[in-house]
């Protein structure tokens, strides 16, 4: 690689057997692929759409039904290994997404927002070139051709001529196959690890259903051996075992109170909630003066926080580790345990019984709202502190496995991202 000219089209990473193969070829899409224009007519095909970041899926999977109506006869036919460009802008693909049909032998897509094409097999292996499209090579190319705000019926106005002028770089077929096989194996590994993660989450959900009493019951179906003769769990009101604190009245804040990171404390919002945990990558900060004005809602490790207002109402998270000062915004309440194990409280609030009570207690309207008074009246059943600790310890250990598995998947995704950057030339 060090002997190659910097101007040559070559990737940073190359398999040993291809290091002396020279530079990759570069051709416009129109020279190595053909546009597909055959329409469904009176034939029957599975109707497809694109889910951003996922690719081509059936309309039934995406919308719950087929939405074509009479327009289905004008849908474009695609076969396995063909590509479809969706002119709809998404967050992941602002200039539209290109996806390969992989899991079906054939299908059909709306001609109104899709342009479809098939690569010449003498030049391109489809499972190789799908990766540059995943990396948005087409988006970077099309940016200079798409007028700002240019849309027709919700779709970007993209001229097929501009799309088919897209430059594609590629090596000889054996090297394409090697790259595709490498990345496909990594995809299979990520899929398998995701399945493990889903299994762990399902196991946790099942355990929670077993370790907490079902609706109308006072003892759980599953109990640790040392507590099987301990009798029924005790009925209480949630307000009997916690303090509930929220930001109210003059202690709300305005845009003038918002500051840059490092100049104040995090103001927790529903966007910081992630599957029972808190994430702080994207946070709003408020001034130290506003933070210190309300000491009762400053977060400490061991608290549970609950969304009480808006579309995310009922979401709960456990405050595990804090590396910055954190308070809450008016959409959140803090649940401070004083007669209950801290993590057991979080599990209780996340469980079906309280979640069902939350749904019943929410006041409707434009903005769903849960009052602190109604939260305090929720009916709960609790065992002894020792049994609470045992349940909390069991499920906390399982959470650690789940977190570790999620981190493993993220590391694999980062590895794949780095591989893709290395195995394909910049462009």
**Distance between CA atoms of 46 and 40, rounded to whole angstroms?**
10
With beta carbons less than 8 A apart as the criterion, state whether 109 and 84 touch.
yes
CA dihedral 119, 123, 126, 127 (to 10 degrees): -170
**Residue 365 pLDDT greater than 80, yes or no:** no
What are residue 28's DSSP bridge partners?
167
Quote the DSSP letter at residue 39: B
Predicted confidence at residue 367, as pLDDT, reads 86
**By C-alpha distance, which of 163, 171, 183 is closest to 9?**
171
- Residue 100 in 3-state DSSP? strand
Mean pLDDT score of the chain, rounded to an integer? 91
What are residue 107's DSSP bridge partners?
78
What are residue 33's DSSP bridge partners?
119
Element housing 20 (H / E): none
**Residue 4 pLDDT greater than 50, yes or no:** no
**Per-residue DSSP letters for 373-406?**
HHHHT-EEEE--HHHHHHHHHHHHHHHHHHHHHH
Predicted confidence at residue 332, as pLDDT, reads 95
**Distance between CA atoms of 380 and 344, rounded to whole angstroms?**
12
Element housing 412 (H / E): helix 385-423
Predicted confidence at residue 251, as pLDDT, reads 62
**Distance between CA atoms of 90 and 94, rounded to whole angstroms?**
5
**Distance between CA atoms of 64 and 49, rounded to whole angstroms?**
12
At 5, is the pLDDT very low, low, confident or very high (cuts 50, 70, 90)?
very low
At 65, is the pLDDT very low, low, confident or very high (cuts 50, 70, 90)?
confident
* CA distances to 84, 103, 141, 146 from 49, in Å: 9, 13, 23, 22
Predicted confidence at residue 61, as pLDDT, reads 87
With beta carbons less than 8 A apart as the criterion, state whether 408 and 171 touch.
no
**Residue 150 pLDDT greater than 70, yes or no:** no
Predicted confidence at residue 147, as pLDDT, reads 67
**Distance between CA atoms of 283 and 335, rounded to whole angstroms?**
21
Q: How far is CA 84 from the centre of its chain?
A: 23
Share of residues in the chain with pLDDT > 70 (%): 96
* CA distances to 80, 121, 334, 352 from 392, in Å: 49, 57, 19, 16
- How does pLDDT run across 162-188, given as a tens digit for each residue? 999 999 999 999 999 999 999 999 999
Quote the DSSP letter at residue 69: G
Kindly report the three-state secondary structure assignment for every residue of 230-291: CCCCEEEEHHHCEEEEECCHHHCCCHHHEECCCCEEEEECHHHEECCEECCCCCEEEEHHHH
**Residue 199 pLDDT greater than 90, yes or no:** yes
**Residue 58 pLDDT greater than 80, yes or no:** yes
With beta carbons less than 8 A apart as the criterion, state whether 87 and 151 touch.
no
The predicted model gives 306-318 an average pLDDT of: 94
Q: What contacts 156, CB < 8 A, 6 or more positions away?
A: 87, 88, 89, 95, 96, 146, 150
Domains observed in the chain? 25-170 (3.90.220.20), 234-382 (3.90.220.20)
**Residue 1 pLDDT greater than 60, yes or no:** no
What helix, strand, coil percent values describe the chain, rounded to 5?
A: 40, 20, 40
**Residue 241 pLDDT greater than 80, yes or no:** yes
At 152, is the pLDDT very low, low, confident or very high (cuts 50, 70, 90)?
very low
**Distance between CA atoms of 71 and 75, rounded to whole angstroms?**
7
At 255, is the pLDDT very low, low, confident or very high (cuts 50, 70, 90)?
confident
With beta carbons less than 8 A apart as the criterion, state whether 369 and 308 touch.
yes
Predicted confidence at residue 146, as pLDDT, reads 83
**Residue 279 pLDDT greater than 70, yes or no:** yes
With beta carbons less than 8 A apart as the criterion, state whether 39 and 77 touch.
yes
> Poorest-confidence range of 56-65, 231-240, 377-386?
56-65
At 427, is the pLDDT very low, low, confident or very high (cuts 50, 70, 90)?
low
> Poorest-confidence range of 310-324, 358-372, 396-410?
358-372
């Amino acid at each position: 690689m060090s002997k190659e000219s910097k101007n040559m089209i070559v990737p940073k990473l190359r398999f040993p057997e291809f290091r002396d193969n020279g530079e990759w070829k570069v051709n416009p899409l129109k020279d190595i692929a053909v546009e597909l224009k055959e329409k469904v007519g009176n034939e029957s095909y599975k109707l497809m759409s694109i889910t951003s970041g996922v690719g081509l899926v059936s309309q039934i999977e995406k919308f719950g039904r087929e939405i074509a109506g009479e327009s289905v006869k004008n849908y474009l036919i695609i076969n396995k290994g063909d590509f479809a460009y969706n002119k709809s802008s998404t967050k992941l693909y602002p200039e539209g997404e290109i996806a390969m049909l992989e899991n079906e032998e054939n299908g059909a897509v709306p001609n109104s927002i899709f342009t479809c094409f098939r690569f010449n097999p003498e030049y391109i292996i489809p499972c190789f070139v799908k990766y540059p499209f995943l990396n948005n090579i087409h988006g970077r190319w099309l940016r200079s051709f798409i007028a700002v705000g240019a849309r027709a019926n919700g779709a970007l106005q993209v001229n097929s001529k501009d799309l088919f002028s897209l430059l594609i770089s590629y090596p000889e077929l054996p090297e394409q196959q090697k790259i595709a096989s490498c990345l496909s194996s990594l995809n299979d590994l990520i899929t398998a690890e995701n399945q493990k993660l889903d299994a762990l989450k399902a196991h946790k959900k099942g355990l929670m259903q077993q370790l907490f009493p079902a609706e109308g019951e006072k003892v759980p179906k599953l109990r640790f051996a040392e507590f099987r003769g301990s009798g029924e769990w005790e009925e209480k009101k949630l307000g009997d075992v916690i303090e509930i604190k929220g930001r109210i009245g003059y202690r709300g804040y305005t845009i003038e109170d918002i500051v840059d990171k490092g100049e104040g404390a995090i103001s927790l919002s529903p966007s910081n909630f992630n599957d029972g945990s808190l994430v702080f990558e994207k946070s709003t900060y408020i001034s130290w003066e506003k933070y210190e004005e309300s000491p009762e809602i400053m977060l400490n490790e061991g608290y549970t926080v609950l969304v009480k207002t808006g579309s995310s109402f009922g979401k709960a998270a456990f405050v595990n580790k804090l590396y910055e000062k954190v308070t809450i915004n008016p959409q959140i309440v803090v649940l401070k345990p004083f007669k209950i194990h801290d993590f057991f409280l979080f599990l209780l609030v996340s469980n079906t019984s309280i979640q069902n009570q939350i749904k019943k207690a929410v006041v409707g309207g434009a903005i769903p709202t849960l009052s602190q008074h109604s939260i305090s009246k929720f009916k709960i059943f609790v065992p002894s502190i020792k049994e609470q600790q045992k349940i909390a310890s069991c499920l906390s250990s399982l959470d650690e496995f789940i977190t570790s598995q999620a981190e493993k998947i993220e590391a694999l995704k980062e590895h794949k991202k780095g591989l893709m950057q290395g195995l394909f030339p910049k462009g």
